[in-house]
Structure 1
């Protein structure tokens, strides 16, 4: 590769898992114990620009206007090394990124961040990799980032053994129909226990975890059928139960822990009440206190209005399904 400048700027959106990823079988390659399935959201995203330039002395990383050093810089530099190694180039890179999503709050900021960085690296270097191929790289920055390479509903295949290439994501449905998600920002601040710490502790100490892979396999099969049928009630029922099973594995850990807060429980109860009132509203939660409500887009504004009795207006964010990464 010639010593020219290579530059690109990409936007990638977050995704929220409806059938969860919780646990790695290979921590170095970010290979998951189970497959997972998500919905990409248009409301939250990351924009990242990369510049590979021979005039640079070393890698640099600026996030939300703040120059990053130490572990934060090393993490993205090591990630870009995956591209530099596989495509036989060694140019330093300047990375400039802005998160339009609260960081480390259980809203998949790492998914959009590494999806944007992977997509920008592919674009800047003119590699011509397919989204499925780019998802293999994105996965090694953040597992859920593999799913943010696709709009709508995405399936991340767990793959086979330690074969990295077999663990990739793909779109299974564009979600271009009457579905939405209402995000209840219970606490948009950083969580005390990272997803990686939570996963590892759960795998090591929860007696319930042994059942998790079997339950996910059942839920995935049922969820794919529900998506094909565009049956939002069935999608919601499966997603809500899957989320509660994941959180049950954490509660059963030793010592026990949970990401739930008092307002999380209130939001869950309000969603149940809305369902009793006739709305197609179901909740899911990731490794964080925030609650996401799955519902028809045609009902989402009425659901938001109902939740205003308990939650601030700026803590209720409506999102339609989001797109695959694109240049900005």
Structure 2
């Protein structure tokens, strides 16, 4: 048997990914930019069985102590099939994973999950991938996972095929995010379903694609210039655009809850008082407020009425660890 354990953190997109140009390869309609967090990690151990066991058994997947079935197991098996194809192996595997963030609640647990799985599985099957190749592999499990491979801040190049769609590092000023967990429950409409519905039915979807491409260019320029105000304005504006186009789908999808909107309002009120605070939210009710290290405690205190708060900073990309998943 061969075993590897990897740890990866979720990322929060400051320029959002919403929509696929190609479903099987998970190629996005436009690029995106994110911060990899230093919290809410996923730790995953992959154990490859002896090859003679491959023909009469299935992969197993245990998530947070519970054997996975249905969609979760199917996604993991399909991903492992791709790794096996790359490695020239038919051996089945046992996967044990622990999420420190709520699963499927809009805190990018799939990003950390598939980034950790990509690294652990590739090593367990004998592959030694560079960062770009590992990012491409993680993308095949969950699009945003390609960014969790990268330390601190990442840009996902949309690309036009498997070889050209990957994430790479980008320099940015030192920032913090105050995570406001409004609701840790699993959302009713998955991101994949929400993307498909938006692409198929929103009359504003084409404009979302073209404007996102321009927004990413503006964000890269703002990061290069160290322009915190521009970074904040782009972050909040693009999040609201994403939720607006999602709400324009038929039937509409609304991920933000009243407490989410209240958190956005609190960020705006803090700005009026001279505090750097700009809100964003992925496909879920939980809100992240971008701020500076010296203002983070004050921002967190102001956001406490809206949910459980935690200050996070930029964290490491996917990495191997000796820690066993439990």
- The corresponding residue for 1:159 is 159
Distance across 1 between alignment mates of 2:165 and 2:46: 25
Are positions 1:41 and 2:24 aligned together? no
User: Would you identify which runs of 4 or more consecutive aligned residues in structure 1 move more than 6 Å?
Assistant: none
- The corresponding residue for 2:63 is 63
Distance across 2 between alignment mates of 1:281 and 1:104: 26
In the comparison of the two structures, how many residue pairs are matched?
Answer: 317
- The corresponding residue for 1:206 is 202
- The corresponding residue for 1:107 is 107
Are positions 1:327 and 2:323 aligned together? no
Are positions 1:272 and 2:265 aligned together? no
Question: What's the CA shift for 1:75?
Answer: 1.4
Are positions 1:75 and 2:68 aligned together? no
Other structure's SS at 1:122 match:
helix
Instruction: Report the more deviating stretch, 67-76 or 16-25.
Output: 67-76
Pick from 296, 307, 311: which aligns with 1:318? 311
In the alignment, is the contact (CA less than 8 A) between 1:178 and 1:298 conserved in 2? no
Structure 1 residues 69-218: aligned runs within 5 Å:
69-160=69-160, 163-173=161-171, 175=172, 177-218=173-214
Question: What's the CA shift for 1:83?
Answer: 1.1
In the alignment, is the contact (CA less than 8 A) between 1:232 and 1:295 conserved in 2? no
Pick from 225, 229, 232: which aligns with 2:228? 232
CA RMSD of superposed structures (Å): 1.3
Pick from 27, 33, 57: which aligns with 1:31? 27
Question: What's the CA shift for 1:124?
Answer: 2.2
Other structure's SS at 2:102 match:
coil
For structure 1, the residue ranges without an aligned partner over 5 or more in a row are: none
Other structure's SS at 1:43 match:
coil
Question: What's the CA shift for 1:307?
Answer: 2.1
Question: What's the CA shift for 1:263?
Answer: 0.3
Question: What's the CA shift for 1:70?
Answer: 3.0
- The corresponding residue for 2:294 is 298
Distance across 2 between alignment mates of 1:261 and 1:307: 15
Question: What's the CA shift for 1:123?
Answer: 2.3
Instruction: Report the more deviating stretch, 269-278 or 256-265.
Output: 256-265
TM-score between the two structures when normalised by the length of structure 2: 0.94
For structure 2, the residue ranges without an aligned partner over 5 or more in a row are: 322-326
Distance across 1 between alignment mates of 2:253 and 2:319: 38
Question: What's the CA shift for 1:45?
Answer: 1.1
Pick from 5, 9, 13: which aligns with 2:9? 13
Other structure's SS at 2:114 match:
helix
Deviations 1:146-201 (A, max 9, x none): 000001111111111xx21111111112x5x5311001111111111111111111
Other structure's SS at 1:248 match:
helix
Deviations 1:106-125 (A, max 9, x none): 11000000000001122223
Distance across 1 between alignment mates of 2:70 and 2:262: 39
